[in-house]
Amino acid sequence: MSWSAWAPLAVLASSLVPGLVIFALPESKRRTRTALNLGGALLKLGLILAILWGVSEGQTYGVRLPFLPGLDLALRIGPLSLLFLVLSAGLWLVTTIYAVGYLEGSPHRRRFFGFFSLCVTATVGVAMADNLLTFVIFYELLSLATYPLVVHRGTEVARRAGQIYLAYTILGGALLLLGTVWLYTIAGTLDFTPRGFLERLPESQHPALVGIFVLLIAGLGVKAALVPFHGWLPQAMVAPAPVSALLHAVAVVKAGAFGIVVVVYDVFGVEFAASLGVTTPLAVLASVTIIYGSLRALFQDDLKRRLAFSTVSQVSYIALGVAVAGPIAAIGGVVHLVHQGLMKITLFFCAGNLAETLGIHKVSEMNGVGRRMPWTMAAFTVGALGMIGVPPIAGFVSKWYLGLGALEANQPWVILVLAGSSLLNAAYFLPILHAAWFREPPKSWPEEQRFGSAETGWMLLLPPLVTAALALGVGLFASMPFTPLEWARLIAELEFYPR
């Protein structure tokens, strides 16, 4: 096998192997474990950047291994998968640094980091899948690998949250499996194809295809937290902060959203899906989710729960952009895959810092916290303003393209959804910022820990600063080469304007 075949396998192995070794290491080998974690994360990022360079030079990367008679385990790295790969590998690196700092001294770190690595392995597998079977396999693997992280704290509340998480994801997986097998019996192939592979089927199959679309989107919607499948996400907040970051920005929710993009673009083909009449209901569902999530976020006092409902709302921008079925909205939706990840992970890191350093878990406890932890709150502010859509932060770029695309696709009602959502975002984020920067701090914090003269440990502070800077950077320099926006443009071009 050549390098182009080995590359996808190496990307998988760069986190799978460290994960397995970590399971085998004794709990006390802290340094070795950290070295493995960081080494694996760096190696993976390096590999993916090398592949990125290769792809831009016109190289292709892919491998097929026989899995079932007639069906292969197929991996391929195209532009869309690269977008997701760079995102997850990059954010995994910062999350690993953060997690090492966050879990310092807590028990069961071997188990935690082992499953953490498996999680990322499953995520990059999802990103590289070249047929729906491969996608399903890694998607299910992701559900299983995340469960131990959600219940990591080992409390009764955590166990319950884990059961709820599983109930949702296993049900979603079952729907996805049913849809996939059904599709296979009708189409005879599951290979992802740009602009879809179902157009050639006879018209008599169209009702079945609509049924399959519903099953697939419902299965993916569970992870993407589409209403009414979002119930698990706020529950899963009991998990440690790095896990929340992983769930919300890097892996789980993203895998669902990415899956929706892939099903619409590479299985059905966006134009064929539109002609089946399934994209408008998806757009409506996404819009409902956007508004509903924001409304619920308004009334949460628990900071992480507020952020969780914000995720419910924000991730559906991706589905919305895809479902509007126009090239410009597609750019907005696809680029939001990255933008939301950068902003939301920043917010969760910051929330984790507040909880770890000062014991703050509630919005109502955040008065004046900006003076005690200025750097953390600066990063938080960038993330929050970005979510609202203030230029030049990343979120603005997404919303701009979504709005423009909706007009171009002649669906002006989407503008209303975007405007309403932005107002609501402002309504639940601005009070936090106001309280943090302009109110008087209390006499003492709920549970303060000292880190010398710094506001908190450097391993906790560095990650949110880096991601906040990136969120700012990808917005500010959106039109430079190799930015997420440029990739999203390339992806939309391939889907809408075949050469």
Residues at the contact surface with other proteins, assessed by CB under 8 A? 66-71, 108, 111, 136-137, 140-141, 144, 147-148, 151-152, 154-156, 158-159, 162-163, 166-167, 170-171, 173-174, 177-178, 181-182, 184-186, 188
> What is the nearest approach in angstroms of other proteins to the Cβ of residue 122?
11
Is the Cβ of residue 151 or residue 360 nearer to other proteins in the bound state?
A: 151
Cα separation, 206 vs 27, whole angstroms: 55
DSSP label at residue 204: G
Task: With CA atoms as reference, report the closest residue to 426 among 371, 465, 387.
Answer: 387
* Close Cβ partners of 326 (under 8 Å, ≥ 6 residues apart): 405, 406, 408, 409
DSSP secondary structure string for all residues of 454-491: BSS-HHHHHHHHHHHHHHHHHHHTTTSTTSHHHHHHHH
> What is the nearest approach in angstroms of other proteins to the Cβ of residue 178?
6
Is the Cβ of residue 134 or residue 456 nearer to other proteins in the bound state?
A: 134
> What is the nearest approach in angstroms of other proteins to the Cβ of residue 401?
36
> What is the nearest approach in angstroms of other proteins to the Cβ of residue 135?
11
Is the Cβ of residue 135 or residue 268 nearer to other proteins in the bound state?
A: 135
> What is the nearest approach in angstroms of other proteins to the Cβ of residue 33?
16
Cα separation, 93 vs 48, whole angstroms: 13
> What is the nearest approach in angstroms of other proteins to the Cβ of residue 43?
24
Is the Cβ of residue 174 or residue 430 nearer to other proteins in the bound state?
A: 174
> What is the nearest approach in angstroms of other proteins to the Cβ of residue 373?
31
> What is the nearest approach in angstroms of other proteins to the Cβ of residue 475?
38
* Cα–Cα distance list, 398 to 299, 318, 323 (Å): 26, 9, 15
Strand, helix or coil for residue 393? coil
Place of tokens 């319950």: 160
Is the Cβ of residue 15 or residue 422 nearer to other proteins in the bound state?
A: 15
DSSP secondary structure string for all residues of 125-175: HHHHB-BHHHHHHHHHHHHHHHHHHHTTT-SHHHHHHHHHHHHHHHHHHHH
> What is the nearest approach in angstroms of other proteins to the Cβ of residue 159?
5
Is the Cβ of residue 156 or residue 440 nearer to other proteins in the bound state?
A: 156
Cα separation, 312 vs 290, whole angstroms: 7
Sort 493 into a burial class: Cβ within 10 Å, 0-12 / 13-18 / 19+: middle
Tokens of 346: 């920043």
Angle, in degrees to the nearest 10, between helices 279-298 and 303-323: 160
Is the Cβ of residue 208 or residue 295 nearer to other proteins in the bound state?
A: 208
Cβ atoms of residues 453 and 331 within 8 Å: no
Is the Cβ of residue 21 or residue 291 nearer to other proteins in the bound state?
A: 21
DSSP lists the bridge partners of residue 74 as 64
Is the Cβ of residue 175 or residue 237 nearer to other proteins in the bound state?
A: 175
Is the Cβ of residue 130 or residue 455 nearer to other proteins in the bound state?
A: 130
> What is the nearest approach in angstroms of other proteins to the Cβ of residue 170?
5
Tell me phi and psi for residue 153, to 5 degrees. -65, -20
